[in-house]
A and B are shown apart, each in its own frame.
Chain A
Amino acid sequence: MANTFAFAESRGGALRRVAFEAVSAARALADASGGGEVHAMLAGAPGIASLAGELGKYGADMVIVVEHAGLANANVEALAATAAARIKAGGYRAAIFSASAQGRDLAPRVAAQLGVSMAADVTAFELAGDALVVKHPAYAGKVIATLKLTGSPAIVTLRPGARSAVEAAREARVESAQPTSDPGASKLVVKEMIVGGGTKLDIGDAPVIVSGGRGLKSAENFKLVEDLAAAFGNAAVGATRAVTDDGWRPHSDQIGQTGRQVSPELYVALGISGAIQHIAGMRNSRTIVAINKDKEAPIFKVADYGIVGDVIEILPVLTAAVKEARAKG
Chain B
Amino acid sequence: METRFKIAASGTAVDEAGLKYDMSDFDGYAVETALQLNEKQGPGETVVISLGPDVVQEQLRKALSMGADRAVQLKAERVPTDGLVIARALAAELKGGAYDLIFFGRQAVDSANATVGPMVAELLGLPCATAVSTLDIANGRGTARRDLEGAAEIVEFALPAVVTIDEGMPRARYPSLKGIMAAKKKPLEVKPAQLGEERLTLEKMELPPERAAGRIVGEGPGAVAELVRLLHTEAKVL
- The residues of A with any CB-CB pair to B shorter than 8 Å are 11, 16, 73-74, 77, 80, 100-102, 104-105, 107-109, 111-113, 115-121, 133, 136-151, 160, 187-196, 200-205, 208, 232, 244-245, 251-252, 254, 257-259, 265-266, 276-277, 280, 283-284, 286-289, 295, 300, 302-310, 313-314, 317-318, 321-322, 325-326
Contact = CB atoms under 8 A, between A and B. Distances in A.
Given A120-B83, A138-B111, A148 B200 contact: yes
B103 interface: no
Given A100-B149, A121-B113, A254-B167, A308 B14 contact: no
B216 interface: yes
Nearest to A326: B238
Interface stretch (B43-51, B61-69, B220-228): B220-228
Most buried by A among B5, B151, B232: B151
A172 to B, nearest CB: 25
A194 B130 CA distance: 17
Given A108-B83, A193-B153, A317-B221, A144 B115 contact: no
Instruction: Identify whether the interface residues of B are mostly helix, strand, loop, or mixed.
Output: mixed
B123 interface: yes
Contacts of B161: 187
B216 A306 contact: yes
Contacts of A112: 84, 87, 118-119, 122-123
B198 interface: yes
Contacts of B215: 304-306
Given A113-B122, A196-B150, A307-B216, A321 B224 contact: yes
B5 A188 contact: no
A288 B152 contact: no
A288 B175 CA distance: 38
B38 interface: no
A112 B119 CA distance: 5
Nearest to A321: B228
B127 interface: yes
Contacts of B177: none
Given A205-B149, A309-B221, A188 B227 contact: no
A194 to B, nearest CB: 4
Interface string B194-217: 000011111111111001101111
The range of chain B's interface size is 35 or more
Interface stretch (B70-78, B94-102, B140-148, B185-193): B140-148
B150 A202 contact: yes
Given A189-B156, A189-B157, A317-B221, A116 B84 contact: yes
A305 B155 contact: no
A149 B200 contact: yes
B129 interface: yes
14 contacts: A11-B151, A105-B118, A115-B84, A116-B84, A140-B109, A140-B112, A142-B5, A143-B7, A196-B152, A258-B25, A302-B214, A306-B214, A306-B215, A325-B228
Given A112-B118, A160-B149, 18 more contacts: A116-B199, A117-B200, A118-B83, A120-B83, A139-B5, A142-B1, A146-B203, A149-B200, A151-B199, A188-B128, A195-B151, A196-B150, A251-B168, A257-B109, A258-B109, A286-B237, A307-B227, A314-B220
B221 to A, nearest CB: 4
B227 to A, nearest CB: 6
Contacts of A107: 115
